[in-house]
Amino acid sequence: MKIVNLIQICVGLLYASQAFAVDFNQGLWEKALTTVEKNLNCSDCKSEHVKLIRQTKINSRAIELKFLNILESGPTTNRLLEYTTPDSIKKVESFMQEHRENLCVSYSETKVDPAVVTALLYMETLFGSEDIPWFKAIDSIVSLAALEDPVFAFHVIETLKPSMQKYKKYRDDPKKWDAYDWNKRAKWIAEDWQMHLRAFFRIAKMQKWKSDKVKSMKSSWAGALGYSLFMPNTALPYFKEDKELDFWVWKDSFRLTSMYLRDEGFAKDTQKALEAYNSPKWYRDTII
């Protein structure tokens, strides 16, 4: 499972001002929450956490962005150049100097270049900047898992049809996208995010999070957690190995990122490991 990453941020930033104000039916949403809770199938999740599903608020932006990002062309060249300006490079170098001790600890364990880890974290969240959009993780994850409810999924598809027209890919070939199997896409998204929801609750149990923390944990619009934006199911194996890890502690973010790249073969093929983190070539080239 790949880590959800810079594309989420870029899509959110690039289209925040362009996105249509999408309002989904509250009654259908509440029925979908019942479906999510009923079908979660997570015997090792804490019941008090599972009950929070009924309290979640719909993240309309998450549904719109994930559902329609198949029509997305990716960030603009100008946007990407912002990551390689002298000021950006200075920020990365200063950050490395400030955190050199913990970066070196991660390097000694994984042999993953600290410069690559630092550049990746800058691209992912601008070092945890509040200037990028953050959301409540449980709202984002449940909103996408709720597409398993067929009535709610149909409602989403019908509601989003006008939004498709703002994408160039759609305008270039509307017949293709009108014939696209959006129901199949909804099912795929739902299955993926049900998995992430179970992982999120399992991590919460291992970490002994109280319900308030589960409700307030922040994430990207898609539910990716921490400074390095790990999707819950991607992070779960590492939390099983070390239950003291924290998504929002820098030394742990360095370890998580380094271990993932190590496990994806960083030592043999840096490009391939970075591709596992985020597939587009522009992403890998910008980091390196």
Mode of pairing for the β-strands spanning 218-219 and 135-136: antiparallel
If DSSP codes are grouped into helix, strand and coil, which group holds residue 214? helix
Asked whether 156 and 63 are in contact (CB, 8 A), the reply is: yes
DSSP class of 83: G
CA 163 from centroid of its chain's CA atoms: 22
Residue 198 maps to a domain: yes
Residue 149 maps to a domain: yes
Asked whether 71 and 177 are in contact (CB, 8 A), the reply is: yes
Residue 61 maps to a domain: yes
Note the pLDDT tens digit of each residue in 244-264.
Answer: 899 999 999 999 999 999 999
Residue 16 maps to a domain: yes
* Total domain count, the chain: 1
DSSP class of 24: -
DSSP class of 132: S
On the question of pLDDT at 13 being above 60, the answer is no
Half-sphere exposure for 240 (CA within 13 Å, toward CB): 10
Residue 257 maps to a domain: yes
Locate 83 and state its tokens: 């990551």
What is the pLDDT at residue 22? 83
Q: Which has the minimum average pLDDT: 98-102, 125-129, 227-231, 234-238?
A: 125-129
Q: What is the mean pLDDT of the chain?
A: 87
Q: Say how far apart CA 31 and CA 76 lie, in whole Å.
A: 39
Confidence of residue 1 (pLDDT cuts 50, 70, 90): very low
Residue 280 maps to a domain: yes
Half-sphere exposure for 103 (CA within 13 Å, toward CB): 18
Q: Which domain holds residue 199?
A: 6-287
Nearest to 149 by CA among 20, 65, 283, 39: 39
Q: The pTM is what? A: 0.87
Asked whether 36 and 142 are in contact (CB, 8 A), the reply is: yes
